[in-house]
Chain A
Amino acid sequence: MIERSEYLSTVQARHNDGFIYLADLTCVDYLNDQTRVVDEGVQAQRFELVVNLRSFAPPSILRIRVQVPEDDPAVPSLFSLYPGAEAMEREVFDLFGLRFEDHPDLTRILLPEDWEGHPLRKDYGVGRVPVQFKEVKRNR
């Protein structure tokens, strides 16, 4: 669990250590979650970027959790280190609205390009199709 300022340097160092495979990159929106525990020395923020890196020899997995503040949701892109990050970062941009700096093609991937809002944020309501009920004639 790290601050945003250490993000790129940490991943770079791990890449040099042999964590050459990006397994997963996703995000969690802790909107009003007061209960969560963060490591000492790290300021909890609304968004948490979760990056899973793999090393092949020895087989191991490493999870990095980056705190991203609400008022400036931007992080550096991992595209130059891991080209495979492209689609995953586009997905996080699409569904959470995090901007990835120096990403080659930061556009919506799953939703239509003219969609408004970022649905996986906790303050984005679950949509409902309004159901129209017919008036039932009451005898009483």
Chain B
Amino acid sequence: MSSSIYTVIRPDGDSRFGLVQETSEGLQELGERSATTAAALAKETGSTLRIPEGEAELEGESDDGRMIINMGPQHPSTHGVLRIMLEIEGETVLRSKPVVGYLHTGMEKTAENLTYLQGTTNVTRMDYLSPLNNELVFCLAAESLLGIELPERATWIRMLMSELNRIASHVMWLATNGMDLGSTSMMIFGFRDREMVLSFFEKTSGLRMNNNYIRVGGVAADLPDGWEDDVTAIVDTIEARTKDYDELITGQPIFRERVVGVGLLSPQDAVALSASGPILRASGVPWDLRKEMPYLYYDQVNFDVIVGSVGDTYDRYAVRLFEIRESISIVRQIIDKMPKGPYRALDPKVTPPPRARIDESMEALIHHFKLFTEGIRIPPGESYVAIESPRGELGCYMVSDGSAKPFRMHIRGPSFVNLQSLPVMLHGGMLADAVAVISSVDPVMGEVDR
């Protein structure tokens, strides 16, 4: 590293850390960001690196000490296969570029060849930490074109499952975030508590993940007997456990040192970069689709929108932790309000006949067979539906040409869009903080790459 970059360091002789700053070998501490020379600054504009992916290796170390390194796609803190090209100067990150696509499997193309009944099995695999939200947005888009009325119970069941999924997803995030920052206990606790929710999903839908439970026209099955007790036990336990998390993480000095003031994102930047979900709210923008543009019956329950004030990694942690508590409160209200009635639309065009009828009625058998082989026909039209998934605005744009398969199905993945704000958060920070910042974005690569 050429010494010309770090010519001026702390003229006032600030020795906060009691370290020897100058030895016979020269300066021992890294310079302030403002200490970089004009020549070095001229090379960077903005925070997003825009060089082709292949050129990172060729570039190597430049004559002024800048260097491009790759983090990932096999890095353990990148939540799968996220690769980040980082332009660093010493330990300071200048520009960066998230490189995605390692998990691309063409799910939007696949969706054009699947019927609406099969489509939910496809979308549920995108965001594998909140599969029910993916199914929900797909079904809401299809139903908005179909124009059918759902029974009340079906909608409340969807809300219950969606909120439980949000709890599971946020608890899972606390676990992986703890792991990234070296808190192995939090990892174990998080997985343990998420398992309770997944067990309930298994009891209800038969599967822990990728449930395929929410279908066009309602849900696949009614809630199991005694579900109120199960759900109450889950939320009571997790509510008590959030106090443990508080003790373990929130006030812990080591954790706070790693996250407070790290990875700042201003509200203006967050809106301009189309960030959504906890990232947008942590930056201080009170925007929650459940509150502002309610879908399902979110206008009939009381909950608060959690908003941060600084927009750092700590705020993004706090927003998610408090959203778990809000979701618990929503789940309790749903238990009280759950009506009796059918759990799927009683529309023979959409809903197969009950299993018992198939044994005794030839027509019911034919009806069942036709529905599952030919599928549901949806009138021509186009529709964009957005819901608030645990990661942000999850949208589905669906075009139908009147056949049994969508003409075009596009999912607006919140992780995909949120990754754009990563370079802004990383800019000017330390390389070691990158792990904390990436984790705070909570990208799920299955949804980013689709």
Residues of A with Cβ closer than 8 Å to B? 20-24, 26, 28-29, 33, 35-36, 50, 52, 56, 59, 61, 63, 82-88, 91, 95, 104-105, 107-113, 119-120, 126
B52 and A24 within 8 A (CB): no
Q: Is B272 an interface residue (CB 8 A)?
A: yes
The number of inter-chain residue pairs (CB within 8 angstroms) is 98
A52 and B53 within 8 A (CB): no
- Shortest distance from the beta carbon of B449 to any chain A beta carbon, whole Å: 6
Identity of the chain B residue whose Cβ is nearest the Cβ of A94 in the assembled complex: B101
Q: Which residues of B contact A61 (CB under 8 A)?
A: 293, 384, 386
Q: Which residues of B contact A104 (CB under 8 A)?
A: 48, 50
- Shortest distance from the beta carbon of A115 to any chain B beta carbon, whole Å: 10
Q: Which residues of B contact A33 (CB under 8 A)?
A: 401, 407
B384 and A87 within 8 A (CB): no
B52 and A83 within 8 A (CB): no
Q: Which residues of B contact A109 (CB under 8 A)?
A: 100-101
Q: Is B90 an interface residue (CB 8 A)?
A: no
Q: Choose one: B101, B382, B420, B449; the contact of A86 (CB below 8 Å).
A: B420
Q: Which B113-140 residues have C-beta < 8 A from chain A?
A: 113
B401 and A35 within 8 A (CB): yes
A28 and B399 within 8 A (CB): yes
Known contacts A105-B50, A119-B106; is-contact A84 B101 (Cβ 8 Å): no
Q: Choose one: B50, B272, B417; the contact of A87 (CB below 8 Å).
A: B417
A120 to B272, CA, bound (A): 27
Q: Is B191 an interface residue (CB 8 A)?
A: no
Q: Which residues of B contact A107 (CB under 8 A)?
A: 52-53
Q: Which 3 A-B pairs have the closest CB atoms?
A: A84-B274, A105-B50, A59-B292
B53 and A113 within 8 A (CB): yes
Q: Is B109 an interface residue (CB 8 A)?
A: yes
A66 to B118, CA, bound (A): 30
A84 and B287 within 8 A (CB): no
A119 and B109 within 8 A (CB): yes
Q: Is B319 an interface residue (CB 8 A)?
A: no
A82 to B397, CA, bound (A): 20
A95 to B273, CA, bound (A): 21
- Shortest distance from the beta carbon of B301 to any chain A beta carbon, whole Å: 18
A110 and B101 within 8 A (CB): yes
Known contacts A33-B401, A52-B384; is-contact A28 B408 (Cβ 8 Å): yes
- Can you list 16 A-B contacts (CB < 8 A)? A22-B274, A24-B397, A24-B410, A26-B397, A26-B410, A33-B407, A63-B384, A84-B272, A84-B417, A84-B420, A86-B420, A104-B50, A109-B100, A110-B449, A120-B108, A120-B109
Identity of the chain B residue whose Cβ is nearest the Cβ of A88 in the assembled complex: B417
Q: Which residues of B contact A35 (CB under 8 A)?
A: 380, 401-402
B449 and A87 within 8 A (CB): no
- Shortest distance from the beta carbon of B444 to any chain A beta carbon, whole Å: 15
Q: Is B231 an interface residue (CB 8 A)?
A: no
A63 to B416, CA, bound (A): 20
A128 to B258, CA, bound (A): 48
Q: Which residues of B contact A36 (CB under 8 A)?
A: 380, 401
Q: Which residues of B contact A126 (CB under 8 A)?
A: 109-110, 113
Q: Which residues of B contact A52 (CB under 8 A)?
A: 384, 395, 397, 412
Q: Which residues of A contact B410 (CB under 8 A)?
A: 24, 26, 50
Q: Choose one: A50, A86, A108; the contact of B397 (CB below 8 Å).
A: A50
Known: A50-B410, A110-B100. 11 other contacts (CB 8 A): A23-B393, A23-B395, A26-B397, A26-B410, A35-B401, A52-B412, A61-B384, A87-B416, A104-B48, A109-B101, A111-B104
